[in-house]
Structure 1
């Protein structure tokens, strides 16, 4: 029985490690994020909100890049981000600012990208200014509590259309 458990653990460990070792990776750069159209918190520090937002998006980009073949690298250089929604500022004793999600305030991502192979050869590159003016009508968006679901969906649509077929 002990040998069977050891065999199962070893097999699972190898499959987990081989999945990650065969995965591509992503590198993300944010160029002058203080000038981005809209990465503003409803309340709190702008710098902290930017950091949290970028960390969440970078994790998502890495997750997508893991679907690429082994040793491929997706380099992303963001020059602008406009989050879905808009911050409404309240003046008064409570100062309860909030982000309103409406059709009018659609998400937009502006970036350059390069898809590189293991030898650093460029497989694909370009400059994108993607947006989703119909973001509120997607089925994926209505089922999530993720505050960045619209931006992630926008990136996913681009990734599966432009990057994944070429990988």
Structure 2
């Protein structure tokens, strides 16, 4: 008789989990997942197929690595910081080629920690970005590829928002934008 009472509960739990798993926009590998931020503003941000990102190819928990809005969150942060540093008459086109987030999953810790990202010095955040910087006439001012990394991410000053799961990647982006556009901000 107890199994009859549990059956509706199990059905409800299964449906709830199924609904969470099929929520649109949470799986960056889905065929209909976006590959760029909407083009509005002076900074365009796109990305290559995330299936090729180091974060997903080498992850010990590929399922967790592919879930959530972390890619679009990083792209939006990149756009926001670049727009603030870019001179008013310029445009920037960015393409994220690769991302390896700070930390990694270590499944050998057991089931209790299989979906927990472990932070160690050997797992620094890394990102590869291609860019084209255009002046007001559309002429290329600068272009290239940058390999961003923060090997001492655990030793730096801790960000104010230490509950942000992307704090190390965002700090790495902020550092790159400051270096890349130092001439632009100094000219203002």
Q: TM-score, normalised by structure 2?
A: 0.64
* Uncovered stretches (5+) of structure 2, i.e. residues with no partner: 1-40
2: CA distance between counterparts of 1:144 and 1:160? Answer: 21
Aligned pair in 2 of structure 1 residues 96, 72: CA closer, same or farther (>3 Å)? same
The partner residue of 2:92 within 74, 88, 111 is 74
Alignment of 1:45-64 (within 5 A): 46-49=65-68, 52-64=69-81
Asked if structure 1 preserves the Cα contact closer than 8 Å seen for 2:121 and 2:151, the reply is yes
How many residues align? The count is 142
Aligned pair in 2 of structure 1 residues 75, 147: CA closer, same or farther (>3 Å)? same
Asked if structure 1 preserves the Cα contact closer than 8 Å seen for 2:60 and 2:105, the reply is yes
Q: Is the partner of 1:97 in helix, strand or coil? A: coil
* Deviation, structure 1 residue 86: 0.3
Q: Is the partner of 1:115 in helix, strand or coil? A: strand
* Deviation, structure 1 residue 134: 0.6
Higher relative contact order (CA closer than 8 Å, sequence separation 6+): 1
Q: Deviations over 1:125-164 (max 9, x none)?
A: 1111121111111114375211111111111111111124
Alignment of 1:148-163 (within 5 A): 148-163=166-181
Moved more, 27-36 or 70-79: 70-79
* Uncovered stretches (5+) of structure 1, i.e. residues with no partner: 1-23
Q: TM-score, normalised by structure 1?
A: 0.72
